[in-house]
A and B are shown apart, each in its own frame.
Chain A
Amino acid sequence: MAGIFQRTVRLRAAVRHLCPHSTLTCAARLSPADFHGPFLTCTSGQFVASTRKLHVEPKSSSAGAPERLPFSKVTDEDLAYFRKILPGRTITDPDLVESSNVDWLKTVKGSSEVLLRPQTTEEVSQILRYCYNRNLAVNPQGGNTGLVGGSVPVYDEIVLSTSLMNNILTFDNISGILTCQAGCVLENLSLYLEERDYIMPLDLGAKGSCQIGGNVATNAGGLRLLRYGSLHGTVLGLEVVLADGRVLDCLATLRKDNTGYDLKQLFIGSEGTLGVITAVSILCPRKPKSTNVVFLGCETFEELLKTFQLCRGMLGEILSAFEFLDSECMRLLNTHLKLPNPISDCPFYIVIETSGSDPDHDSQKLDNFLEEAIASTFVTDGTVATEESKIKALWSMRERVTEALTHDGFTYKYDISLPVERIYQLVTDMRQHLGDRAKSVVGYGHVGDGNLHLNITSPAKDPALLAAIEPFVYEWTASCQGSISAEHGLGLKKRNYIYYSKPSQAVALMGNIKAMLDPKGILNPYKTLPDNLK
């Protein structure tokens, strides 16, 4: 019963926060009967969770834009100052500012009139010091590839772009520690490192555009997390400019440093709301000498999971990625991007990557695994690639699903962490729940990390469809104690859903930290933290 008790306490607290005037009391005991609505079960099989009560609507729509906060508006004097410190790099031409106002998905648009492009940390410091004094809101922006509306202004916030801060500062090829400015494009860093026999510890589909500063600010996950871990582990140091212009130099290049509180951890994943990251030092792994990619087909999700277990057991230390996509994703790839299916049509597809230091060992391990996989009939079809060109081709089947979705219509994206065995149940339930209302419902993602990318498309933006999807998807996730945003972050779109995955105490403490580091709230306002914290 303890599990149910804790669960209901959390849900109750969450409800209280969404509806400050609720009359729920702090009674220690609250029976599940107090919550009415559809009951959802989870693998633990022990408890039930209501979906109705959490649905209490706060004053404004949860994901809709909040009211503009009373920041100053940009004046000619402000522009004159910016032009003085950033000659030629203070952009006010509407055509040029336009692309910084719209996100990659083309779902949110701001109305900023000023785009600033500093080249040095000192310039960023000057900008922020000035904006802090003038109470001007600032929207830090890297590659603008975020998927939750966190990278573009909501109103007229000044866009602070790191695009020109693209210098690599140092690289030590014994320790593998790289330091660079925050505006370095991930793919460029990869190319630089690959020439020196190293690789970046993270890789994502957006690599051609995303910048390392943004990656760190959003604690980007990606395709290699399974093997190399998250940025919380691989980032060794940061240089951050705080809201008032102070430069915080924590750009250590040390693998181990237990001297005081580890401040950089605060900024990793802070989505530009606690400071502007200007430089990063990161630990890079050696480039594997042998890489293989396998593309497999499975009949059921259960068999996919059995393949995962087999894979973990037989490939173990050389496994560097385990991704999945469903047949709907394949259909979209075939239709919109004309990418042919490398194997026969199956309900589920897996992309497995191995990386190791000895091609012979690795192919031996891989051969054994593949023979076992076929013999066990967990896998019904598959193909292997060892050549660079074929590897790229197989990876694109997974990496380009996001792109294929944009061609299918307006996309509702959900990035959920769930217990691995429940991952596809959410997709099936969503399909059933939405019926004909949606055009496509697809599931894919980093199944090895328990991370599902659930995407739903419709021909055009459809508020009725959105109402059917949310909060169904969040409540389903909360009932499994999952995360409503595994790696995409909260940004603008998901800021108010934080309570589905974090207790209110935690959120309150986040608010305290924000208030301490950015008392005027000028850094990336309207994002990440819920509206009711203000």
Chain B
Amino acid sequence: MSGRVLVGVKRVIDYAVKIRVKPDNSGVVTDGVKHSMNPFCEIAVEEAVKLKEKKLIKEVVAVSCGPQQSQETIRTALAMGADRGIHVEVAGKDYETLGPLQVSKIMAALAKKEDAQLIILGKQAIDDDCNQTGQMTAALLDWPQGTFASEVSLDGDKVKVVREIDGGLETIKISTPAVLTADLRLNTPRYATLPNIMKAKKKKIANVKPADLGVDLTSRLEVLKVEEPPQRQAGVKVETVEDLVGKLKETGRI
């Protein structure tokens, strides 16, 4: 086995930022807004780096699809311990319509090209909440998938994954190569330490175009409208139980 792990990292609007909808309702405001690595992608990177530290895998490659700024996200992954990066350049209109289907095609192509043993992704991105890329990538490659992972252990050419599911925890054993998606409790991502941040500046980030990978970026989805959720109305205070019953009847609740 190559011992190589591909980790997908997505550049999203930082989760602490207040989101604003564009006046024309076509999307959210991204210009001048603080962006950072998707929190679930951070967990994915952390897991990959941990596996390398345990000497269970040999190389961690961080991949990001997007415009020039995606390189910052890759640098963060490098500062956390990834060995090298691949920046798949997608900009302009293509970037606006870039979704799980396109990204999974790119990841699948890269996985073959890099002879990856494992692909680790975040379970979903906090901007679109799709939760599809990992699953689609596995399907395209016809690889097994361990999604919503809260615990991962490598055992020879098999991976034991404890998954977070509605009913509790499910443990499965899948063979490699495989796709894993990281859930919240998988680990706590490390802070990138200064020495590593300095070292990361020297690590390589390769530039690749989707066309080079033979990937068609056409989207089958069209965003019609983006709007804010309805404003929460203020509550009404009542003095007595009779008042409460009266108000409930008034608003047709009972």
Contact = CB atoms under 8 A, between A and B. Distances in A.
B14 A370 contact: no
B198 A383 contact: no
Given A371-B198, A390-B36, A382 B193 contact: yes
A384 interface: yes
A503 interface: no
Interface in A298-321: none
Contact of A383 (B14, B16, B34, B193): B193
Contact of A389 (B15, B32, B191, B192): B15
A57 interface: no
A388 interface: yes
Interface string A366-409: 00001100100001011111111110100000000000000000
A343 B196 CA distance: 12
Which of B17, B35, B193 has the most chain A CB atoms inside 10 A of its CB?
A: B193
A389 B198 contact: no
A342 B191 contact: yes
Interface of B: 14-17, 32, 34-37, 39, 188, 191-195, 197-198
29 contacts: A289-B32, A295-B191, A343-B191, A344-B193, A370-B197, A370-B198, A374-B194, A374-B195, A374-B198, A381-B194, A381-B195, A382-B193, A382-B194, A383-B191, A383-B192, A383-B194, A383-B197, A386-B36, A387-B14, A387-B34, A387-B35, A387-B37, A388-B14, A388-B15, A388-B34, A389-B14, A389-B36, A389-B39, A392-B16
Contacts of A385: 191
Contacts of B14: 387-389
- Shortest Cβ-Cβ A-B pairs, 4 listed: A387-B36, A388-B16, A383-B191, A382-B194
A228 B52 CA distance: 46
Interface of A: 289, 295-296, 340, 342-344, 370-371, 374, 379, 381-390, 392
A181 B192 CA distance: 43
Contacts of B39: 389
A381 B190 CA distance: 14
- Chain A contact residues, majority secondary structure: mixed
Which of A289, A379, A383 has the most chain B CB atoms inside 10 A of its CB?
A: A383
Contacts, number: 52
A370 B15 CA distance: 27
Contacts of A371: 198
A389 B16 CA distance: 5
B16 A381 contact: no
A343 B193 contact: yes
Nearest to B32: A289
Contacts of A382: 193-194
Contacts of A381: 193-195
A295 B197 CA distance: 13
A314 to B, nearest CB: 15
A388 B36 contact: yes
Contacts of B191: 295, 342-343, 383, 385, 390
B75 to A, nearest CB: 11
Nearest to A375: B198
Contact of B194 (A289, A340, A384, A388): A384
A375 to B, nearest CB: 10
Nearest to B35: A387
A115 to B, nearest CB: 19
Contact of B188 (A340, A344, A384, A386): A340
B200 to A, nearest CB: 11
Given A374-B195, A384-B194, A388-B14, 8 more contacts: A289-B32, A295-B191, A344-B193, A374-B198, A382-B194, A383-B192, A384-B192, A386-B34
A370 B192 CA distance: 14
B231 to A, nearest CB: 16
Nearest to B15: A389
B79 to A, nearest CB: 9
A72 to B, nearest CB: 34
Contact of B197 (A289, A384, A390): A384
A118 to B, nearest CB: 21
A355 to B, nearest CB: 14
